[in-house]
Amino acid sequence: MPEKPAHQIFLSAHPSTPCDSVQRLDVRLWFQSPGVVTLCYTLRGDMSRIRVGVEGASGSADGLWKHTCFEAFMRPGDSAGYYEFNFAPTRQWAVYRFDSYRQGMTPMELANPPVISTSRTPDQIELQVTVPLPFNADSGAARRTKLAVTAVIEEESGRLCYWSGRHPQGKPDFHHSDGFAFDL
């Protein structure tokens, strides 16, 4: 890991889903090489009150957002289309391509799947993932990629809390264009 990640983004809980079991949630990210990005999510809190699942073999899975899941959304250039990345502490992952806001969802198969590692203590979980981008990172549009970083945190009660670097007005909506607030 480089000494200074390209970005560090602090996430906040959506006002309608406060989560007092989490003290802090942030993401650091950097490029390993052109077209390969590493994201490191660090959640600090009372881990006995947060469901994270049991770590297993890495693999693709749908519906990860129904439980604790760390996410990133990327929109290259001025495109209406974007990509959704889901990474679970269980080491499962999913990547989807959308043609526009919540339209045309297509699961993506990656030639090189993400590499996910986790470390846990009673007051922290860290998930680090290195993933090849499913778009040409050398193109002009990719150099203007907008980013939204988010997380779904499942409390022990089963209640879901929604975290983001920037929340749009209204209900939690990670797909909303207002959430794409950071430059990759």
Q: Is the pLDDT of residue 164 over 60?
A: yes
Q: Is the pLDDT of residue 112 over 50?
A: yes
Q: Which pLDDT does position 1 carry in this prediction?
A: 42
Q: Which pLDDT does position 35 carry in this prediction?
A: 84
Q: Is the pLDDT of residue 33 over 90?
A: no
- pTM equals 0.92
Model confidence pLDDT, tens digit, residues 74-86: 998 888 999 999 9
Residue 5 burial (CB count, 10 A): 16
Domains and CATH numbers, the chain: 7-183 (2.60.40.1190)
Distance (Å, whole) CA 58 – CA 132: 15
Model confidence pLDDT, tens digit, residues 165-180: 999 999 999 999 999 9
Total residues belonging to the chain = 184
Strand partners, 86: 71, 94
SS3 sequence, the chain? CCCCCCEEEECEECCCCCCCCEEEEEEEEEEEECCEEEEEEEEEECHHHEECCCCCCCEECCCHHHCCEEEEEEECCCCCCEEEEEECCCCEEEEEEECECCECCEECCCCCCCEEEEEEECCEEEEEEEEECCCCCCCHHHHCCEEEEEEEEEECCCCEEEEECCCCCCCCCCCCHHHCCEEC
Provide the percentage of residues in the chain whose pLDDT is more than 70.
92
Provide the percentage of residues in the chain whose pLDDT is more than 90.
75
Distance (Å, whole) CA 166 – CA 183: 13
Q: Is the pLDDT of residue 2 over 60?
A: no
CB burial class (10 A; 0-12, 13-18, 19+) of residue 48?
exposed
Distance (Å, whole) CA 102 – CA 6: 29
One-letter amino acid at 46 equals D
Question: Closest Cα to residue 150, out of 142, 160, 135?
Answer: 160
59-60 and 92-98 strand pairing:
parallel
